[in-house]
Each structure stands twice: as structure tokens, then as C-alpha cells.
Structure 1
Amino acid sequence: MNNHRLLTGLLVVTLLSGGVRAYGQKRQVMTIEDLFEFAETNSIQLRPSFSAEEEALKEINVARNGRLPDINASLSFSYIGDGFTTKRNLSDYQKAPIPHFGNGLSVNITQPVYTGGAVTTGIELAELKSTAARYATELQRDNIRFQLTGFYLDIYKCGNLRSVIENNISQARKVLEDMKARYEQGVALRNDITRYELLVSNLELQLVKVNNTIDILNRNLAVTAGLPDGTEVLPDSTILARSLPTAGENWWQQEAAANAPALKLARSGVDMSRKAESLVKSERLPKIGLQAAWTIDGPILVEVPPINRNLSYWYVGVGINYNLSSLFKNNHSLSKSRAATRHAIEQLDATRENISLGVRADYIRYLEAYEELKTQEKSVELAERNYNTTATRYSADMALITDMLDAANSKLDAEQGLVNARINIIYYYYKLLFTSGKI
């Protein structure tokens, strides 16, 4: 009995100190939309997506550089040793003095005119990659928002659950005081008091666990949203009073088909695969460009004896380059690109199917949450009535302590179920928004 009292005392002290809750936290009432807006600019988990999006935009400029002319310039200085001449049979050796200082300067300009579509396709492919990066950012943003929604609603649920437990603790203590008074009058057993003290201790332990869970959820929420350290988010108490849309499943399916980032990303994957296939095909086509060049070299070594002067010349023209080996070397690359396109199309079909199934499941759960709420409201009403009746019967010595314990536990379970049912409606609504890409 002493150990039991010691345990109860420790739990009470822990409860009064707030469990492991840290003091000095900044409390702030925030709506879910407030969290979304704050996370947009402060979430660390979203920054890599923004960086990838910026990198993809830079890649477009790199691809556009393919339309600019190629300009090459070279400058050289050299030491040229003396030469010699011989007959064809290597006899009759004669030394051939050569000017020792050599120099060279050349400038070459090539302007692509026709590349078989390689430059244009490369630019379009870079633009598609940029679009895909934007869709990937949207998908990551939706994931973070839904994660924040889960933390937020769990905090709300635990907060309501804490109120339920605190109310049950208050009622249990009143019953316990009544039992002790009846025990002093000799109409109650000491064992009844012990069993109800155990009930109170269990409720206090549940309260400590709920407080600790709220602290953990708040920490996760603050870190994910990028909130300042020590911020304690208090959910908006009006969230359950919102009027939620009652659109049918077809509307949600249409919205998902048009807005789901995963679908957009899969579609852009198909477009990129087709562009990559066109890029491989362009390698089989000739490349045409305008050319202009100017060269000055010295000395002139093609004359015998060499002429110690510079020779300069320039030219303009059209250059045609055709890699004939690509006609038989690119077959495997083209087959690989076509296979990648088929894979992207199949991936798009699979993604579309998964999203459709997800919307249907979420919509069914959304409607089910309303039915669950009606059932839980009735359960709370019945449990409350049963508890009051049992308490009256127990006061009149017409019920056992086990009946009181069962009634108290049933009441607690019903009230907890009601809390969960109310939150589930909001949760599945946001789950529908997440799956359909409208969160």
C-alpha cells in the first residue's frame, strides 16, 4: 500500500510539473493555412526543391547557347630547328638552314545553321526538365503540407483528449472522496477505495503521456514548418466548425486528374523521354554551319629554302558534317530511348491509376468519418447516461464498484472516440485535398 501511494505521489508531482514539458515556450495560435504559408519560405525540407528548380532554369540558358556561334582563336610561338635534305635513298646529305623563330595566329568562327534539330530539341528538353523540377517542388510542398496537417490535427486531438482525461480525473476524484466518506461511515470497503485510486493513477499516467505526446508533436511541427525554436502551436479552436465541401467523388477525380503533382510529374516524364528520343534521332542527320577563318603563320616552310616571312589567308564558306557511322552505331541508343518512352508512358498509367484509387478510398473514408461521428455522439450520450445511472445506483448501494469502474471506462472510451471522430472528418478532407493536388 505504501508503494502504491508513493507511485501515486510521483505521478501527481510529474503531472503538476507538466511532464517533460519545457517552460519558456512561445505559445501561438495558428491555422493550418498559417502553417502552410510559413513553411513555404522557412521549411528546410523545401529548400533543395527550390535549388533544383533554379538549377533547371540555368540549364535552359546553357542549352540556348547552342544557337550561338563557336569562336576559336589560337596563338603559338615556337623554335624551329635546322632541317636537311637527302636523295630518296637517304644519300647526299645537305644541311637546310631554317629561320628558328616560328609564330602562328588563327581565328575560326562557325555559326550552326542546321543541326538536325539537336539544338532546338536540347532547348525544349531543358525546358521540360525545368517544368518537371517545378512539379517536383509542388509534390514536395504538398507532402510537407500534409505532414504538417497530420501533426496539427494530432495536436488538436491530443489537446481535446487531455481535456477529456482531466474531466474524468476530476469526476473520479469526486467519486473517490464520496467513497472515503462512505468508508468512514462503514458502508464501503477499503478495497473499493484502492481500486478507484488505481483508476485515478492510470488516468493521471495517461495525462502525462498525452502531454509528452503533444510536446513531441509540437517539436516535429515546428521543425518541419521552420518555426522558431520553443514555439508551441495552439490549434485554431474553430477548425471543427468549418463548413466543408460536399462535392461528389467525380468532382474529386476530375480535380485530381488536373492538379495532382504526381500526375503532372509523370506526364512531364513522358514528354522528356520523347524529346530524348528525338535528340538521338538527330544524331543521324547532317550538321550544316557557316564558317569564317583567318590565319597568319611564319615562316613559310613549304618552300625550299624556307621563306622568312608570314603567310596570311582567310576564307568564308559552308561546312557540312555527316557522321555516317551513326547510321549503324545509333540503333541501340534509339532502341533504348524508345524503351524509356514506353516505360514513362506505363509509369504515367500506373500513377493515374494509383491516384484514382487513392481519391476513391479517401472519399469513402471521408463519408465514413461523418457516420462515425454520428455513432460516437450517440455512444457518448449512452455512456454518460449509463455512468450517471451507475453512480446513482452505487450511492444507493445497488451497484458494485466493478460496475462503477466499467461505467467510467466506457465513458472515457466513448469521449475519446468522439474526439477522434471529429478530427477524422478534417483529416480525411485534407487527405482528399492532398491526393487531388489541391492542398
Structure 2
Amino acid sequence: MMTNFIKKKIKIYFLLVTLFCSGKSVIYSQQNDLNNTRPIQLEEAIQLGIQNNRQLKVANTNVAIANEDLSQAKISKAPRFGLNIDYNYIGNPKIFEGFYDKSVTVDYFDYQTVGTLVASMPLYYGGLIKNKIESQKLVTQIQETVVKMTEAEVKLAITQQFFTLEKLYQQIEVTKQNISNTELRIKQLKSRVENGQNLKSDLLRTELQQSNFQVSVFQDVNNIKLVSNYLDILIGLPTDTVLKPVLVENILPSKELTIEEILAEAYQNRYEIKQSEINVKLYESFLNSTKSGFKPNLSANFIFNSQYPAQWPNFTNNTLNFWAAGLSLSWDISSFYNLKHRVGSDKLQIDKSNTQLQIVKDEIDKEVKKATVRYAETKKNIPTFLKNVELAQNHYKIIKSRYDNDFALISDMVDAEVQLNSAKISLINANLDLIIQFYSLKYAMGKL
């Protein structure tokens, strides 16, 4: 029984050693991948995003389309011209007596030409043309707000991914230091195990701890590649570019704002509110366009006609020219009853868009308060995480001293090291989360 137990222990040991060695080779290859990184600052990333982001390009194209539609709407005020030219070949007609009894062929002109030039100028269409132009201007303004909103969303996404990358790089640096420490301890333990000063289980526990640290690095490296890929797409770089953030000092503000000041900034700056306000004006413009159907239309007309041969009697061998100019008045009297429900529908749309404006303000109110609370909460937690690191370091020093003097177990050493690693990573995350929350707050205020 004892022999079987020893065999099992040996198998487990060799399995752990195999996993440890294969893990080291994988980690080594992964770390080599991070040697070929592209350094990038946040401002550069944001500028690249503004230039290359596909969502922004689509939004800007929609603005260009809206401007073209606006120019097309303005053409409605211009005069209209039409030209018509006809040419016909005419066969000689036959005149029959009775029911096709006798016929006489008439020598007639073999061709006929007619040319007509028509011009018209809208003078008054009940305000329809003016309202259509105004509506298209508002549509253009809406598309412009979409560009600003998309730009702010892209900036926020770039910022979040940028500092998430920095988190991962800093976590790797902390964990690498722990790997170096455990590497030294493993060398010491191997010697101590050979001399009978420590059990082999102490060595296995330390190797297992180092393996866990290496797995953590391996996962962080993979996450760096994934986050870099997403950031590459956002800013228009080749998608296999591994990015390395370069931080600039003085990111956080020196002055704190009250919730009232932040809300006032948000209501003034957020383009979602501006878009909703424009939507109200747009439906008011649609209502005015519908009401223009109650009014008459007046236009000026001009026509010039030339035909050969003339079709009037006694002038068949002559060219006939004539022109005419005047006014045209039309009025759809039935509009007084058939537009009634369209007017009612437009009024309801105005009420709906006003309600949606209030909903947008409520959502921004919630977003601002959430961002404010999260920013203050993260800032307040940083001293606690600093204290945790200090306590974990002191605890680690005490345990290490006790362990070096054979007054503590290897399990105590492992626990102390894990606690210190966790405390340092929590502090890193808290500091970078504070920056992310600050940019989230800027986004909520409409200042990103």
C-alpha cells in the first residue's frame, strides 16, 4: 500500500513538472509576442479614431447626403424649363367616295415639325416649398448631431480600451516580479529538499504557485491581444497590431464639480438633448407643410410654340409661331376635409417628440448621477487599496523573515505572496478605473 502511495506521489510530481515546463515555454513565446508592440498615446489613438473609424465615416457620409438633399430642396424655388420637339413623316391621304367606292389621292405635305418651349415659376405654394427646405435643414442638423454623438461614443470606447490595456500590462509586471521571487525560492527549496531540511511537498506547492502566476501572465497577454484587436478596429490600424499605451501625466482634474454643475453642463452640452429638440422642430415643420395644403398655389407660366406646316386653315404652307404668358392658380378645395387627419397625426407626433425629449433628459440625469457616484466611489477607495498594499507588504516581510528563520511554513509564505500580489493588482485597477470613470463622467457631461 505504501509503495502504491509513493508511486502516485511520484506520478503527480512528474505531471506538475511537465505542466510547469510546458507552461514556461508557452509563457516565454507569449512574452516574445509583446516585444513587437506599437507604443501609442491616448491623444494619438483618439485622433486616429476620428480619422479612420468606420462608424464616424458612415455618420459623416449621412451629413453629406443630407446636405445634397438640402440643395435639391432649394432647387424647388427655381424656375422650370421644358423643351419639346416633334417630327412626323405624313403619307399622302386618300379621300373615298361612298363606302370605299372611289378614291382621290391628295398631294399633301410629307412631314410635320413642332417645337415647344415651356417655362414656369412657382410664386406661392402656401409655404410648402419653404417648409420643405426648413425640414431638410433640420434633418441635416440631426445628422450633424449624430456625428457628434458617434464621435463621443468612439472617444469613450477608445479611452476605456486604452486604459484596460494599461491595466493588463501593469498586472503582468507585478506578476512577473512574483515569478522571479518564486523562481529564487524554488532554487533554494530544491537544495533544502536534497539536504532534508524541507519536504518535497513544500517544493511542489511553490512550483504550483509559480505555475499559477505564469498562467495569469499567459491570460493577460492573450487579453492584451484581444483588447489591442478591438482598439485597432476602433482607430483604423491593422488588426494584428499589438498596442502599448504610453501614459501622460495630469489626466485627472484638479477642481471638483458639484452634481448641480455637472448636470447643468450635461443639459447644455449633450447632443442627445439637442437632437431631441431638433426632432420637435422637425415635426412642427411637417405640420406646417401639411397645413400648406389648405392654401392655393400660384405660378407664372410662359410658352413659345413653332410649327411647320401650320395647321390652321389657309396657312398650310406657312410656319406658325406664337407665345403666351400668364398666371396659373390652383386650389384643392377638398384639402379642407381630406387633410384633417394628417394634421391631427402631425400634432400627436409633436407631443410624442416633446415627451421623448423629457425621456432623454431623464436618461442623462441617471447617467450623470451614476458616473458621478462611481467616480467619487473609486476615488475614495484608492486610499484603502494603498493601505492594503502597505499591510500586505508588511505581512509579507514578517512571514518571509519567519520563513527564512524556519519559524513559518511554506504555505504561510505562499499565502502572503498571493495576498501581496492581489493587493498590488487591486491598487493598479483602482488607479486606472479612476481615470476610466473620469472619462465616463466627461462623456456624461458632453465634454468628451
Q: How high is the TM-score relative to the length of structure 2?
A: 0.89
The Cα of 1:243 is off from its aligned counterpart by 4.3
Whole-angstrom CA distance in 2 between matches of 1:235 and 1:19: 16
1:260 maps to 2:280 = no
What amino acid is the match of 2:327?
V
What amino acid is the match of 1:414?
A
Q: What are the within-5 Å matches in structure 2 for residues 20-419 of structure 1?
A: 21=33, 25=36, 27-30=38-41, 32-79=42-89, 82=93, 99-228=109-238, 231-239=241-249, 242-301=252-311, 303=313, 307-419=316-428
Note closer, same or farther for the CA distance 1:144–1:86 as it changes in structure 2 (3 Å cut): farther
Whole-angstrom CA distance in 2 between matches of 1:365 and 1:397: 46
Whole-angstrom CA distance in 2 between matches of 1:320 and 1:331: 23
The Cα of 1:174 is off from its aligned counterpart by 2.8
Offset from partner CA, 1:75-123 (integer Å, 9 cap, x none):
1122457487999xx9x99989565533222111111111111111111
What amino acid is the match of 1:121?
N
Larger CA deviation: 359-368 vs 238-247: 238-247
Whole-angstrom CA distance in 2 between matches of 1:79 and 1:306: 19
Whole-angstrom CA distance in 2 between matches of 1:325 and 1:298: 43
Structure 1 stretches lacking a partner, 5+ long:
none
Contact kept? 1:20, 1:212, Cα under 8 Å: no
Across the aligned residues of Structure 1 and Structure 2, the Cα RMSD in angstroms comes to 2.7
Whole-angstrom CA distance in 2 between matches of 1:357 and 1:181: 62
Contact kept? 1:380, 1:415, Cα under 8 Å: yes
Whole-angstrom CA distance in 2 between matches of 1:108 and 1:241: 68
2:22 to 6, 10, 17: 10
Offset from partner CA, 1:224-261 (integer Å, 9 cap, x none):
11135654432223447644541122222111111112
Contact kept? 1:59, 1:126, Cα under 8 Å: yes
Note closer, same or farther for the CA distance 1:295–1:238 as it changes in structure 2 (3 Å cut): closer
Whole-angstrom CA distance in 2 between matches of 1:338 and 1:20: 65
Note closer, same or farther for the CA distance 1:219–1:83 as it changes in structure 2 (3 Å cut): same
Contact kept? 1:158, 1:214, Cα under 8 Å: yes
Secondary structure, aligned partner of 1:150: helix
What amino acid is the match of 1:359?
V
Aligned to 1:437: 446
Secondary structure, aligned partner of 1:234: strand
Identity %: 22
The Cα of 1:178 is off from its aligned counterpart by 3.5
What amino acid is the match of 1:322?
W
Note closer, same or farther for the CA distance 1:142–1:86 as it changes in structure 2 (3 Å cut): farther
The Cα of 1:204 is off from its aligned counterpart by 0.5
Note closer, same or farther for the CA distance 1:110–1:354 as it changes in structure 2 (3 Å cut): same
Larger CA deviation: 325-334 vs 177-186: 177-186
Whole-angstrom CA distance in 2 between matches of 1:93 and 1:302: 28
What amino acid is the match of 1:252?
I
Whole-angstrom CA distance in 2 between matches of 1:248 and 1:85: 103
Note closer, same or farther for the CA distance 1:110–1:94 as it changes in structure 2 (3 Å cut): farther
Structure 2 stretches lacking a partner, 5+ long:
1-12
Whole-angstrom CA distance in 2 between matches of 1:227 and 1:109: 55
